[in-house]
Amino acid sequence: MQPARRERHCAPPRGGVVHRIASALVAAVVGAGVAAAQDRPIAFTKADLVPISGPPIAGGTLVVIGGTIAAVGPAATTPIPPDARTIDCTGRVIMPGLVDTHSHVGGGWGGDASGPIQPDVRILDSINVRDSGFRKARAGGLTTLNIMPGSGHLLSGQTIYAKLRKASTIDDLAIRDAAGKPLGGMKMANGTNSQKDAPFPGTRSKSAALVRQKFLKAQDYRRKLAEAKGDAAKLPDRDLEMEGLLDVLDGRIVVHHHCHRADDIMTVLRLRDEFGFKVVLHHVSEAWKVADQLAKAKAPCSVIVVDAPGGKIEAMDLSLATGAVLEKAGAPVAIHTDDPVTDSRLFLRAAGLAVRAGMSREKALEALTLAGAKMLELDARIGSLDVGKDADLVVLSGDPLAVRTKVLETWVEGIQVFDRDDPDDRLFAVGGYGAGRDQKAHACCTDARLSETK
Amino acid sequence: MQPRRVVRWFALLAAAVAATAVTAAEPAPLLAIYGDVVHTMAGPPLEKGVVLIEAGKITLVGSALDIPVPPAARVLRGRVVTPGLIDAHTAVGLTGYLNQEQDQDQLDKGEPIQPELRALDSYNPRERLVEWVRGFGITTIHTGHAPGALVSGQTMVVKTVGETVGDAVVVPAAMVAVTLGDDARPGDEKKSPGTRSKAVAMLRGEFVKTQDYLRKLDLGDPEKRPDRDLRREVFADVLRGRLPLLVTVNRATDIDAALRIAKEFGIRIVLDSAAEAYLVADRIKAAGVPVIVHPSMRRGGSGETENISFETPATLRAKGIPVALQSGFEGYVPKTRVALFEAAVAAANGLTTEQALATITSDAAAILGLADRVGSLRPGLDGDVAVFDGDPFEYTSHCTAVVIDGRVVSEEPR
C-alpha cells in the first residue's frame, strides 16, 4: 500500500493517543448509546463555507453548539463563544453533509418472493450497521441516507432515514420524529424489475392494476376505521399491510418510486393523482423526455448518474443530461448513489458529471444536499448550513466538484464520524485489505480497535 | 451519405485484399491540432504545442510557435491535447448495451476451455457503447471474451471506428482470456472446475497436452502429424510466446497461481483486474508481469473484489510494475465503465497526471505490444488524438474532439 500521507485538515488535528483515550473515557462515562453528544461548542473558522441555502462565504465562521449549527457567516460578523474549541479551517471548504435519497448500504432486504406488494416489511429489521458500506459512505461525506429495499417488487417495503452516526444498532442510526418514531418512506417500483412469474405481474398494465387494487383495499380499511369511531367492537382487525399503506394514503410517509422509462414515470404520476399520495421519482432515466410534464406536476426527481447508458432496456436512453434538462424545465432535482450501483465515496463525482452535462454548479450541489433533504421532508433539520439545523458537515480539501478534492472529515450532529488522517478511517476511504469486510463494532466503552466484533 | 457509402465499399475492397489490419481506408486530410498543453507521452508535456497529421499518420509534433499552420490543413484547437486514449481491457462490442440475450456474445459457458473462440467473430462495430466510449476520447480498445470461464476465448485490439470488424481491427488475436478464482466455476456443481486447484490442474493439463502436440508437429514425418485442432493451435501459440494469457484474477492466492503457471510453462501473461495485487507486488515485479488494474468504480466491490483499492495503480507503479487501466466488464447498469474516468480516480489517488494518462495511453500501448503504433504523439504513429477543454480528468471537463487515423470522428463535446 501507499505510505499514509499526512493530509492537512482543519487544524488543530486530533491530539493523538491522549486524545483518543480521553474520547474513549468520555464515551465510557456517557455509557449506553454510541456517540457521545457534543460536549463543548466548536467554532470552525476561516473556512470557505458553501451553505447551499445562500451564496458561498469565503473565510467564514461556523459555530456548533449541542450538535446544532448555532451561527454561520462571515468572520467579521460571527462571534465565537468564549468556551468554544476553535478549529482553523484555512483553505478548507465546508458544506452540509451529503444527503443520499436512495441507498442500499447495510445489506438489508425488504420483501421476499411471496408477493409483489409487501407494505408490512421494514428495511430497518434487516440492516447490518457494521457493513463496511456505512464506513465508506461516511468517507464520501454522506451524513443522511434513505436506505431502501430493492426494486424487484411493486412495493418492497418501508425505507428508513438514517443518520451516519457511529452505531452499534439500527436504533443508533434512525432519524426520529418528535414522538420517537423512526422516519422513513415506502419503496415502490414499476417497469421491468418487478415483472416476473405470478403472483408478480407480467406486464406494465398488470403492475398498475395490482397496485391500484391494493390501494382501494386500503381506502376501504380506512373507511372502516373511520366508521368505527373508536368503538373497539366495530374496529377492523389490525393489519400491518393496511397500516403501512394508510401511512402512504394519509401522507404521513413519502413513496420513493423506482421508474426509468418515460411512460413508467407518467404512470407513477397517474397513480399519485388517483390516490393522492406523496411521491419522489427515483432514477428517472427518461425524465428528459417528459421534463415539462414533470415540472408542471411539481414532481420531485431523484436522478441516478452513471457512466454509460444501458445494462437493461429501460435504461437504454439514460442520459448524463437528465439533471440539466430537469433543472431547465424547473423540476426539483436531487441526485442519489443507489449504492452499490454507484459508490458512496464518489457521490460528489455524480454532481460533477451532471455539471459536465449542463447542470449549474449551484443546483448540482443542492441536488446532493438540500434538494434531497426536501424530498425526505427533513429540510427543517438537514441539507444546508443554517442556524438551527443539525451540524452535519463535510470538510473538503478544495472545490467539491474537483476530482482531486478529498473528503477530509465528516461530522454528524457535531461529532466527527470520519477523519481521513485516521488510518482506520482511511482504509475505508481508499480501499485495501479488509475494507470490504463487516466493520468493527463501535462499542461505547472500549477502544474499537481492540474489540473486533463481527 | 454518399461519401460514407464509398468509404464502406472501399473498405470492403481493401479488407478483401489485405484480409486484416485495415484501419483507415479513406485518404485522411491534413490536420493541425493545437493545444495549450499537449501531452505527447513521449516526453514532458508541451506548452502551446501542435500535432500535424498527414494521410492518417502523425508527421510532426512540436511547439506551435515554431511550426507554421500548413495552408491546406484543417485546424482543431483545445486546451489539452492527448494521444487517443486506450482502454486496455473491455468487452464492449461483444457485450451490447441492451444486455439482452441477443446482444451478449462475450461469454459462452458451454465448455470451460475454449481458446478457439475468436473475438473477431462476435464484434459489432456499430454497438452503441463503442460510440459512447469514443466520445470520451477512447480510440483504441482491447476487447474480446469476458472473464467468467476458465478459458473464455480470445481478445483483439480494434479502433473505435469502422463499419465492419475488418475496418476496425488492429490486432485480430491479442491474448487468450483466462479466469482463475470463483468466476472460473461454471455454476453447475457437477461440472468442472469446481475448485481453484481443479481449475489450475485443468489449465496445466491443456499445456502439457499442447507440448505433446508441438512435439508431434516437429517429428517431421507427415504421416505422424496430428490433425489440425483449433484449440491446440491457439495454445501452441501461447507456448511459442506469440500470444500472452490475459489472466483475470483478484485474490492474492489466484495471482500467485497465475505466476506459477507462467513460470512452469515459460509463457507470457498479463494480470487482469488483480484486486489484491498490492499484497504480492514484489512477486509480480520479480516475474516481470504487467497488470491491467480493475476499474476502481466497478459495481459492488464485493466477493473477490472486496479489497480493491483506489490506490492500487499508484502502489504497483511505485514498485516499477507496468500498469494500465481498463473499463472491464459490467453485467448491469452501467453497461460499461469509461477508462478515462478510471484513470481520473487513479490521478486522484496517488498517480500524477502524466502517470495516470500513461495508464490509458503509452503504458497501455506498451502492454498491448503497440507502442510503435498508438499511445503517444510521435511522428510515424497513427493519427489518433483526443482534445479536451480542460484537465481531461476533471469531471466537469469535456472531450471536444476525437481523431482516429487522421479522421475527425467526433466533435460533439462530451
Tell me what ipTM this predicted complex has: 0.92
d(CA B387, CA B106): 31
Q: What is the pLDDT of residues B82-99, one digit of tens each?
A: 999 999 999 999 999 999
Cβ within 8 Å, pair A343-B301: yes
Q: Are B309 and B279 in contact (CB under 8 A)?
A: no
Residue A398 in grid coordinates: 478544495
Of A2, A403, A434, the CB nearest to B347: A403
Please state the domain extents for chain A. 16-97+385-450, 98-375
Pick the more confident residue, A34 or B105: B105
> d(Cα B378, Cα B396) in Å, to the nearest integer?
29
| B255 pLDDT more than 90 | yes
CB within 8 Å of B21: residues ≥ 6 apart: B169, B170, B172
**Cβ within 8 Å, pair B318-A2:** yes
Q: Which of A338, A253, A270 is nearest to A303 (CA)?
A: A338
Return the H-helix or E-strand segment holding B283: helix B281-287
Sign of CA dihedral A369, A374, A377, A383: positive
Residue A310 to residue B296, Cβ atoms within 8 A: no
SS3 at position A364: helix
Would you state the pLDDT for residue B150?
98
Judged against a pLDDT cut of 80, whether residue A354 lies above it is answered with yes
Mean pLDDT value of segment A26-36? 43
Q: What is the pLDDT of residues B314-325, one digit of tens each?
A: 999 999 999 999
Least confident of A149-153, A182-186, A435-439, A443-447: A443-447
Average pLDDT across chain B, whole number: 92
- Banded model confidence at residue A36, pLDDT cuts 50, 70, 90: low
CATH code linked to domain A98-375 = 3.20.20.140
Taking each helix axis as running N to C, give the angle between helix B252-265 and helix B196-217, from 0 to 180 degrees, rounded to the nearest 10: 20
Across the interface, of A315, A431, A435, the residue whose CB is closest to B333 is A315
Average pLDDT over residues A426-436: 94
pLDDT of residue B160: 98
Q: Are B38 and B46 in contact (CB under 8 A)?
A: yes
Mean pLDDT throughout A182-206?
A: 97
What are the φ/ψ torsions at residue A358 (nearest 5 degrees)? 120, -5
Amino acid at A115: G
Secondary structure tally for chain B: helices H, strands E? 11, 16
Query: Alpha-carbon distance B40 to B83, whole Å?
Result: 7
pLDDT at residue A266 is higher than 50: yes
Residue A196's pLDDT is what? 95
**Top mean-pLDDT range of A1-10, A354-363, B290-299:** A354-363
Q: Reply yes or no on whether the pLDDT at A350 is more than 90.
A: yes
Could you tell me the three cell numbers for B201? 490442474
Q: How many CB atoms lie within 10 A of CB B190?
A: 6
Q: Which residues of B touch A306 (CB under 8 A)?
A: 333-334
pLDDT range class, residue B221, cuts 50, 70, 90: confident
Query: Using the beta-carbon criterion (under 8 Å), do B307 and A433 form an inter-chain contact?
Result: yes
pLDDT above 50 for A444: no
At residue A12, the pLDDT reads 54
Check pLDDT > 50 for residue A226: yes
Per-residue pLDDT, averaged over B112-133, amounts to: 98
At B1, is the pLDDT very low, low, confident or very high (cuts 50, 70, 90)? very low
Give the tens place of pLDDT for each residue, B100-114: 999 999 999 999 999
d(C-alpha B301, C-alpha B126), whole Å: 31
Compute the count of residue pairs across chains A and B with CB atoms less than 8 Å apart: 130
Q: What is the structure's pLDDT at B28?
A: 56
Q: What percent of chain B has pLDDT over 70?
A: 92
C-beta of residue B246 within 8 angstroms of C-beta of residue B155 = yes
Tell me the average pLDDT across B207-233: 93
Looking at residue B154, its pLDDT comes to 98
Separation CA A78–CA A66 (nearest Å): 18
What pLDDT sits at residue A33? 43
Flag whether pLDDT at A5 surpasses 60.
Answer: no
Q: Residue B158 forms beta bridges with which residues?
A: B141, B169
Closest CA relative to residue B297, chosen from A343, A148, A134: A343
pLDDT given for residue B219 in this prediction: 87
Instruction: Tell me the mean pLDDT in the region A125-153.
Output: 96
Q: Which of chain A's residues have a Cβ under 8 Å away from the Cβ of B328?
A: none
Residues from chain B that touch A364, judged by Cβ atoms under 8 A, are none
Contact between chains at B396 and A401 (C-beta distance less than 8 A): yes
Rounded to the nearest angstrom, the gap between the alpha carbon of residue B380 and the centroid of all alpha carbons in its chain is 21
Evaluate if residue A6 carries a pLDDT over 90.
no
Closest-CA residue of B relative to A5 is: B350
Pick the CATH number of A16-97+385-450 from 2.30.40.10, 3.40.190.10, 3.40.50.1700, 3.30.70.20: 2.30.40.10
pTM assigned to the model:
0.92
Strand B151-159 to B176-179 pairing: antiparallel
Helices then strands (H, E): number in chain A? 12, 17
The strand ranges marked E within A7-116 are: 42-49, 57-65, 68-74, 85-88, 93-96, 98-103
pLDDT at B187: 85
Is residue B261 scored above 60 in pLDDT?
yes
Q: Residues 280..319 of A with a Cβ closer than 8 Å to B: which? A: 306-313, 315-316, 318
Which helix or strand (DSSP H or E) is residue A96 part of? Answer: strand A93-96
SS3 content of chain B, % helix, strand, coil (to 5): 30, 25, 45
pLDDT at A89 over 90: yes
Query: Is the peptide bond preceding residue A236 cis, with omega within 30 degrees of 0?
Result: no
**Phi and psi torsions of A157, nearest 5°:** 135, -175
Q: Does position A255 have pLDDT exceeding 90, yes or no?
A: yes
The pLDDT-based confidence of B11 (bands split at 50, 70, 90) is: very low
Whether the pLDDT of residue B71 is over 60: the answer is yes
Q: Sorting pLDDT into bands at 50, 70 and 90, what band is A447? A: very low
pLDDT greater than 60 at residue A69: yes
Per-residue pLDDT at A65: 98
Check residue B321 and give its pLDDT. Answer: 98
- Point out which residues pair with A158 in neighbouring strands: A122, A186
A16-97+385-450 shares its CATH topology with A98-375: no
Closest CA to B295 of B270, B321, B275, B319: B275
The pLDDT assigned to A243 comes to 98
**For A316, which residue in chain B has the nearest alpha carbon?**
B98
- B364, amino acid identity: A
Q: In this predicted structure, what is the pLDDT of residue B300? A: 55
Percent of chain A with pLDDT over 70: 89
Report the alpha-carbon distance of residue A280 to residue A335 in Å, rounded: 12
In terms of Cβ atoms closer than 10 Å to its own Cβ (0-12, 13-18, 19+), residue B184 is buried
Identity of the residue numbered A276: G
Q: Report percent pLDDT > 90 for chain B.
A: 87
Residue A151: list chain B partners with CB under 8 A: none
pLDDT tier for residue A244 given thresholds of 50, 70 and 90:
very high
Structural domains of chain B sorted by starting position, each given as residue range(s) with its CATH number in brackets: 1-83+375-414 (2.30.40.10), 85-370 (3.20.20.140)
* Interchain pair A403, B308: CB under 8 A: no
Cell output for B85:
486514449
pLDDT of residue B299: 66
Q: Is A431 on the interface with B (CB under 8 A)?
A: yes
For residue B279, the chain A residues in CB contact (below 8 A) are 433
Question: Mean of the pLDDT values across residues A141-168?
Answer: 97
Residue A33 or A421, more confident = A421
